[in-house]
Each structure stands twice: as structure tokens, then as C-alpha cells.
Structure 1
Amino acid sequence: MSAVELGEFGVRRASESEADTLIGIDAIAAEGNGERQASIRRWCRQGLAVVAEDASGPLGYCAVEYTFFEQGFVTMLMVAPSARGRGVGQRLLNAAAASCTTPKLFTSTNVSNQPMQRLLQRNGWSPVGLLHGLDEGDPELFYLCRR
């Protein structure tokens, strides 16, 4: 019996054919945001996305790109609302760190996103900067994974 059958979940690289499934668990993409949908399709096509899943299907996904000063950057971390609090985000971040091909791995989140900040800090990520101007009135906090 596999871990997935035992009610646990696994993390693996997402395939291009799974883009629509990942769009379905991403609230912004599912509401019809074409840019997010296109990004998810591109991440899957380019092999940049990993998916966490259990026997019921996908629980969340993560995308790592290498366009941030040629370093790894967790561009997106999305956990389905029904799967939050189960360690899915932590496992996805760990998978991103394990697969990162550059010396440094960064991510960012809005100041208003307290749950993401707690997740990053619990997992050893260090705040390294603050950027104003991306989302009006909600600065972006940048983090570095201390591996």
C-alpha cells in the first residue's frame, strides 16, 4: 500500500497534462484570471511545477523559476483551502529547496499575507528585503531559503 493510499500525500513534478487540474485548485485561476492560467500552463509545460497530492487528487502546487538575478525563485505556492494546515506548503517548499539548481532560493509575499510569512519563518527562510510599489498599499517581503 502506498503512502497516498494511507491518507498521506506525496510531492512530484507536475506534467503538462495536469495544468487544468492545477488551475482548478488555484482560486485566482479558477475565477478566470487568464494570466494566472497561462502561467500555470507554462510552468507545467516547462517542468517548473511540482504538485502535492493524495488519493483524492492535487492538494497544492509550487513553481520555481530562475529569472530572479539568475537564482531560484518560488514564483508561486498554492495550497487548496481544504488542504491547509496539513503540512502541504511545508512539503512543497522543501521540494523546491531540494530541487533548486542555484546556490540561492528566494520567494516573496505581501505584507498582508501573514500565513505565508509564518510558513516561511517556521521553515527557516529569512526576510531579506521589502519592496514598495507592486501592490499599492501592500508591500512585498522577500525571503531567502537558508539551506
Structure 2
Amino acid sequence: MEHFEEICSIDQDVIGDFSRSETIRTAVQEKRCLIQQSEQGIAGFLIFTNDFFDNNFISLIIVKPSERRKGVATALLAFYVEMADTRKIFSSTNQSNTSMHKVFEAAGFVKSGYIENLDDDDPEIIYVKMK
């Protein structure tokens, strides 16, 4: 919990509000939140669950804007893949999030499907990585 406020501040910088603070608090308390540190503090974080059709699922990856394009998301993904306890690891991003698509593909994730109607006119693209 010592990093909770800094994590929420980074999330607020990225999405513009504190609407996910309770989700983040729960993930931190349940030890489902990984952080990547830099010399300036927390560079990014990853939140995961273990209940996506009995598979691991990365539900959120956020990188501090000043730390982007420095390998933070890739490092978080690689660390999580190593620690994940299922053979398949899933995640997703909006179709419009081209930067995250590139990160997933570089990390060896492949497209696995999509979900319509979560966000208007911006389908959620599902990715999977096999261990």
C-alpha cells in the first residue's frame, strides 16, 4: 500500500480522473499489482487477475507518460508472463490503442478475438500468449 497514491496519480494522469482508485486499491491489497520503478519513482504498473476462464488475465497496464517508449510495458509484461501460473495469459486493448497493439505483438502475444460494445465504436481486441 506504500505506493498506492503514486499508482493512482499515474493512472489519473493517463485517464484524467481517479475512477479506478478502488479497483487499484483492491489489486494492491490482493497482491495483484506489479510496479516498475525508475530513478524518478514508479514508471508504470500492471494489474492482473487469475479468473479469466481459469486463465491469467492482465487487466490493466499503465505507463507514466514521461516514461513511455522506454520498455516499461514490455518489462512488466515479461515479468508477469514468467510468474503467471497458467499456460495461457490473456489481455486486451481497444482497437484504437495502436501503441499497445505494438507492445503486445513485440512481447509475443497474438490476437485471439474481440468484444464489441464495451466502448462505443472501439472494439476490445483480445490477445493471448502461450507459455
Aligned to 2:119: 135
The SS at the match of 1:85 is coil
Unaligned runs of 5+ in 1: 1-15
The SS at the match of 1:26 is helix
* 1:93 partnered with 2:72: no
Pick which of 112-121 and 94-103 moved more: 94-103
Distance (whole Å) between structure 1 residues aligned to residue 63 and residue 130 of structure 2: 22
The SS at the match of 1:138 is coil
Aligned to 1:40: 24
The SS at the match of 2:2 is helix
Aligned pairs, number = 131
Distance (whole Å) between structure 1 residues aligned to residue 22 and residue 14 of structure 2: 9
Residue of 17, 20, 32 corresponding to 2:5: 20
Q: CA deviation at 1:80?
A: 0.5
Displaced runs of 4 or more, over 2 A: 27-34
For the Cα contact (< 8 Å) 2:46–2:58, is it kept in 1?
yes
Bigger radius of gyration: 1
The SS at the match of 1:136 is coil
TM-score by length of 2: 0.94
Question: How is 1:71-90 mapped onto 2 (pairs within 5 angstroms)?
Answer: 71-90=55-74
Q: CA deviation at 1:146?
A: 3.0
Unaligned runs of 5+ in 2: none
Q: Percent identity?
A: 27
Root-mean-square deviation (CA), in Å?
A: 1.5
* 1:114 partnered with 2:98: yes
Distance (whole Å) between structure 1 residues aligned to residue 114 and residue 15 of structure 2: 29
Aligned to 1:126: 110
Q: Deviations over 1:38-72 (max 9, x none)?
A: 01111110000110002210000001101211210
Q: CA deviation at 1:134?
A: 0.7
* 1:102 partnered with 2:86: yes
TM-score by length of 1: 0.84
Q: CA deviation at 1:32?
A: 3.2
The SS at the match of 1:47 is coil
For the Cα contact (< 8 Å) 1:49–1:64, is it kept in 2?
yes
Q: Deviations over 1:92-111 (max 9, x none)?
A: 00011011111210000000
